[in-house]
Amino acid sequence: MDNNNHKQRIFSGVQPTGNLHLGNYLGAVKNFVKFQSAGNETLYCIVDLHAITVWQNPLELKKSIRELAATFIACGLDSEKSILFNQSQVSSHSELAWVFNCVTRMGWLNRMTQFKDKAGKNRENASVGLFVYPSLMAADILAYHATHVPVGDDQKQHLELTRDIAIKFNNDFNVPNFFPCPEPIIEKNSPRIMSLRDGTKKMSKSETSDMSRINLTDNSDQIALKIRKAKTDQDPIPDAISGLETRPEAKNLINIYSSLEECKIQEVLDMFCGKPFSFFKPKLTELIINELKPISNQITKLLNHQDHIDKVLYNGSLQAKKISKPIIDKTYKILGLKNS
Ligand code: TYM
């Protein structure tokens, strides 16, 4: 299946559940900004309906939605160039999610590793919403006929499912190429930023230790402390990438450096080979602070202007409705739910 008939359109989403961390930034949001500059049509969504698949305190959620909107803007997303909005304000997401719940097979959802990780051992007690989360995610993307989705590597399986749902819908209702098969766009240098405490686990908002991640709102002292305490090993920095293969923590710090500098991993190794991590860590700290300080300052400023943030989200939701409504109408027509 090709996306020839479909105009290139970029969509991505982030959950409003606490502060964004360096993994979200390097794996996703920094990339969002790049696409916006290339003159593409871009939609970036605060996926609040996804957040409620696990219980959220309503007051906290309201605050987190605004904070994420402020973070998007502080990272460089511009409401003149991109459509910025929150999912719950555009009913197309829920409408299409129900249709996709009827297309998606139980077996497909049973294979989703994120559900297994999040539900843990207590699967029977997980919400049904958490189980069908991937079909809502497919609806987010396909309600706009989006063709490209910038995400971190952890979302790859959900993107594959989205493609399967699109193909099954198109086949079941004999509408070839009605839904496009969206492509994930995964940043090469930072597909998965790992925990600072354990290089085999991804950096995550849900990890209990705050020392495992750099939050975008951390101050310079917190960043310096977290990098100083980041787990590494005794060996010096190697001269070749193969020398990092069995050293996940070392590899992670080198990856972060290369991603921030936007250079190849080999270039970082050429700069630091033979040096101990005690030499490398202060350089990395400086790089992180230089990148994040302007962002956290801007977040603080924006949060003093909540009316502005609310207006950006409201205008974004109107624009998002305008694109998705005709696609939902057409989907209902295909299903026999609507005459014209
Ligand atoms: P979420 O909110 O967990 O994460 C937002 C984005 O950050 C990426 N990411 C990472 N990238 C690199 N290293 C990490 N350690 C790391 N942690 C997170 C994620 O891959 C993601 O791109 N299901 C999605 C939200 C979503 C969505 C969508 C995304 C809902 N609908 C439609 C794209 C399109 C999620 O939970 O992301």
pLDDT per position as a tens digit, 191-244: 899 999 999 999 999 899 999 999 999 999 999 999 999 999 999 999 999 999
- Mean pLDDT for 62-90 is 97
| Tokens of residue 72, six digits | 């998007």
Pairing of strands 9-14, 41-46: parallel
Region 37-59: mean pLDDT is 94
Active-site pick, 34, 118, 283, 321: 118
Residue 1: pLDDT band with limits 50, 70, 90? very low
CATH of 210-300, one of 3.40.50.300, 3.10.450.50, 1.10.240.10, 2.60.40.10: 1.10.240.10
CB atoms within 10 A of CB 39: 8
Query: Torsion angle, CA of 55/58/59/62, rounded to 10 degrees?
Result: 100
Helix, strand or coil for residue 32? helix
Which of the 8 DSSP states describes residue 194?
B
Query: Distance from CA of residue 299 to its chain's centroid?
Result: 19
For ligand 1, atom 7, the nearest C-alpha belongs to: 24
pLDDT digits (tens, 9 = 90+) for 252-281: 999 999 999 999 999 999 999 999 999 999
How confident is the model at residue 338, as a pLDDT? 86
7 is catalytic: no
| Window from 152-161, 185-194, 246-255 with minimum mean pLDDT | 185-194
pLDDT of 143 higher than 90: yes
**Amino acid identity at 151:** V
Alpha carbons 264 and 268: distance in angstroms, whole number: 7
Task: Report percent pLDDT > 70 for the chain.
Answer: 99
Query: pLDDT tens digit string along 293-305?
Result: 999 999 999 999 9
Looking at residue 10, what is its pLDDT?
Answer: 97
Rounded to whole angstroms, how far apart are CA atoms 296 and 19?
A: 11
Of the two residues 174 and 122, the one the predictor is more confident about is 174
**Phi and psi, residue 99, nearest 5°:** -60, -45
C-beta separation of 170 from 124 below 8 A: no
**Catalytic choice (205, 293, 321, 325):** 205
CB 50 within 8 A of CB 86: no
Query: Is 202 one of the annotated active-site residues of the chain?
Result: yes
Question: Domain 9-185+305-335 falls in which CATH fold?
Answer: Rossmann fold (3.40.50)
| CB 93, CB 109: distance < 8 Å | no
User: Nearest C-alpha to atom 22 of ligand 1 is from which residue?
Assistant: 151
Residue ranges of the alpha helices (H) in the chain?
A: 22-24, 30-37, 48-51, 58-74, 92-101, 106-110, 113-119, 128-131, 133-142, 156-172, 220-229, 248-261, 265-272, 277-303, 306-335
Q: Locate the domains of the chain by residue range.
A: 9-185+305-335, 210-300
Percent of the chain with pLDDT over 90: 91
Residue 142: per-residue pLDDT: 98
CB 340 within 8 A of CB 333: yes
What residues does ligand 1 touch, defined as CB less than 6 Å away?
11-15, 23-24, 27-28, 47, 50, 137, 140-141, 149, 151-152, 154-155, 158, 190, 192-193, 202-203
Mean pLDDT of 74-101: 98
325 is known as an active-site residue: no
Which residue among 21, 26, 47 is best mutated to probe the pocket of ligand 1, counting the most ligand atoms within 8 A of its Cβ?
A: 47
4: exposed, middle or buried (C-beta count within 10 Å: 0-12, 13-18, 19+)? exposed
Report the pLDDT value the prediction gives residue 3, as an integer from 0 to 100: 63
